[in-house]
Amino acid sequence: MTATFARRSLSTAIAGATLALGAASAQAAQTINLGHTLSDSSHYSVGADAFKETLERLSDGEFEVVEHPSGALGGERAMIEGLQIGTVDVVITSTGPLGNFVPETYVLDLPFLFKDYDQARCVLDGPIGQDLLNKMGEHDLVGLAWSENGFRHLTNSKRAVETPADVEGLKVRTMENKVHMAAFEAMGAHPTPMAFPELFTALQQGTVDGQENPITVIVATKFWEVQDNLSLTGHVYSPAVVLGSPILLDGLSEEERGWFDQAAQASAAATREEVSRLEREGVELLRENGMTVETDIDKAPFQEAVEPAYQIYTDQYGSEMLDRVRASDC
């Protein structure tokens, strides 16, 4: 064998080994399944994109994030259960069903608890929010970051709603959340909990008359196709939360877990920015698509009407967390 041929053979072998190692490395990337119930054009999807970009960049390809939007992995409650048993890795979810798993979070669903976005974000980004995230660890969940949906408003296909009396008799889809249900019962509505992926069809078929969600969700789901009236009641601030599976996260190194924390924070920041944009532009978009929008809502009668929801909460869970939120300097 000539020296030249030997060098060529060695170079070929090295190149082949390098390619093989690269292929093996690519194959070794761990897939992270991230689920949510909204469309791939929603604020949740914006957050999912930020999570994916951040985690894949920080891990240098060690993890590959696959987004499953539109309830592809199930409704929110089903996905949270999936986190507990390890069939789902990361979920972006509203707090609607979360109280069924972590009762302490019910406090966030009390109507008219926060006066504006600044106050809500301040509380969630501070000690109270961190304590609630920590509580999730006691229930086979990992709370990674507080994200956002926005203030919830009421839509329906029957009539304009300006006062609590206008709500009476309406069949309103709510989340599987006893605090939300109690608030609508107090106004004389018929709250009808159902998983979000079922809602559009239920509205279309008249199974329910209306629903309540933030502008972000109303826009992303194109509810103008099945709802005529929007009332800007702002009755509940609706957080979202980025949750992880302890079965996945507890097996990571400290560095790897740090990447997930940073990815969750990036997701929350991107989602909040998108929520702010949609709050500015979304109402006009809904009008352009035919919805009648009631903006001049006197919230005082609504606050009085839903007061029983507070009693239900404090009777069952005490007032400690509620008192902390109210006493916060945010």
130-147 per-position pLDDT tens digit: 999 999 999 999 999 999
pLDDT bucket at 5, cuts 50 / 70 / 90: very low
Quick: pLDDT tens for 44-65.
Answer: 999 999 999 999 999 999 999 9
Mean pLDDT throughout 13-36? 66
- The answer to whether position 167 is within a domain reads yes
Mean pLDDT is lowest, of 18-32, 181-195, 287-301, for 18-32
Write down the pLDDT at residue 220: 87
pLDDT at residue 175 above 80? Answer: yes
Mean pLDDT throughout 94-115? 91
Integer Cα distance of 47 and 121 in angstroms = 16
Integer Cα distance of 35 and 163 in angstroms = 37
Integer Cα distance of 49 and 54 in angstroms = 9
- The answer to whether position 287 is within a domain reads yes
Residue-number span of the structural domain to which 140 is assigned: 22-325
Mean pLDDT throughout 149-155? 95
Mean pLDDT of the chain: 91
- The answer to whether position 9 is within a domain reads no
pLDDT at residue 13 above 70? Answer: no
CATH number at 103 reads 3.40.190.170
Q: Nearest CA to 154 among 124, 118, 107, 187? A: 187
Write down the pLDDT at residue 319: 93
> How many Cα atoms sit within 13 Å of 239 on the Cβ side?
31
58, exposed or middle or buried, with CB in 10 Å at 0-12, 13-18, 19+?
middle
Instruction: Check: CB of residue 121 under 8 Å from CB of residue 264.
Output: no
pLDDT at residue 21 above 80? Answer: no
3-state class percentages of the chain: helix first, strand second, coil last, to nearest 5:
55, 20, 25
Mean pLDDT throughout 321-330? 94
- The answer to whether position 6 is within a domain reads no
Instruction: Check: CB of residue 109 under 8 Å from CB of residue 178.
Output: no
Start-to-end C-alpha separation, the chain? 79
Task: Kindly calculate the radius of gyration of the chain based on its CA atoms and give it in whole angstroms.
Answer: 23
- The answer to whether position 5 is within a domain reads no
Quick: pLDDT tens for 212-266.
Answer: 999 988 998 999 999 999 999 999 999 999 999 999 999 999 999 999 999 999 9
- The answer to whether position 215 is within a domain reads yes
The residue ranking higher by pLDDT, 1 or 73, is 73
Mean pLDDT throughout 295-312? 91
pLDDT bucket at 4, cuts 50 / 70 / 90: very low
- The answer to whether position 108 is within a domain reads yes
Write down the pLDDT at residue 27: 58
- The CA distances from residue 96 to 48, 183, 256, 262, in Å, are 19, 14, 29, 25
Q: Quick one: tokens of 327?
A: 């006493």
pLDDT at residue 78 above 90? Answer: yes
Tally of domains within the chain:
1
- The answer to whether position 14 is within a domain reads no
